[in-house]
Structures are given as C-alpha cells and as structure tokens.
Amino acid sequence: EDQVTQSPEALRLQEGESSSLNCSYTVSGLRGLFWYRQDPGKGPEFLFTLYSAGEEKEKERLKATLTKKESFLHITAPKPEDSATYLCAVIPINSGYALNFGKGTSLLVTP
C-alpha cells in the first residue's frame, strides 16, 4: 500500500534557526513527489515537484531534495511568515494523477 509519512508532526523554530522537514514514502513506483504549503483555512499552495532521486529544487529560503525513500524540505533562516503547514504528496506510477498526501508538518517560526 502506498504510504506517505511526514515528520515531525509539529516544529517550532526561532527566526533564523534553520531546520529540515522529512517526508518518507513507500510506493511501488514514483511518478512525482510534491511539496505544498497550506495556511489555516486556505487551500494548498504549490511549492515544488521532484521526479527522480538526487533532484533538488530551490525557492527563496526553501530547498527540496529527493532520495529513493524520502524527501527533505530544508528551511534556511526562516522568518515568521514561513509559519504554515507543509504538506508532502506523491503520485504513484500507474495510479492516474491523484495526489496521496501525508499528514503534514505544522511549522511555527517565532520572532
């Protein structure tokens, strides 16, 4: 069964304190792995797509990396506005294009 597990469930950082969020996945084959940001009461906002092990993508203070079993979302020198829930999702091969989401990591960055 395809599974996506995110850790930690919640993370509290001080402004400027870099850290990483983890997404472990188990799929028979990976079409793509996706990172989204979700603010309370809003829909997810697309951040990155990763397709193959070794791939990296960057956007401002965020960098996503991918291995054959997991993905990391590195947050460098976070700011309070980076506070949100970060969702990881996969699309397995041969399952259409529906996203299979993890439960997310709730990030709080304090000044």
Partner 1 sequence: GAVVSQHPSWVICKSGTSVKIECRSLDFQATTMFWYRQFPKQSLMLMATSNEGSKATYEQGVEKDKFLINHASLTLSTLTVTSAHPEDSSFYICSASGTSPDTQYFGPGTRLTVL
Site for partner 1 in 69-98 (CB under 8 A): 87, 91, 96-98
Distance CA 22, CA 98 (A): 21
Q: Which two tokens stand for residue 25?
A: 């996945």
For residues 33 and 49, the answer to whether their CB atoms sit within 8 Å is: yes
Q: Provide the β-strand partners of residue 105.
A: 86
If the CB atoms of residues 32 and 76 are measured against partner 1, the closer one turns out to be 32
Q: Shortest gap between Cβ of 103 and partner 1 (angstroms)?
A: 5
Binding string, residues 7-36; x marks residues near partner 1 by CB under 8 A: ------------------------xx-x-x
Site for partner 1 in 43-62 (CB under 8 A): 43-46, 49
For residues 25 and 4, the answer to whether their CB atoms sit within 8 Å is: yes
Name which of 99, 18, 27 is nearest 70 in CA terms: 27
Q: Shortest gap between Cβ of 13 and partner 1 (angstroms)?
A: 20
Q: Shortest gap between Cβ of 17 and partner 1 (angstroms)?
A: 25
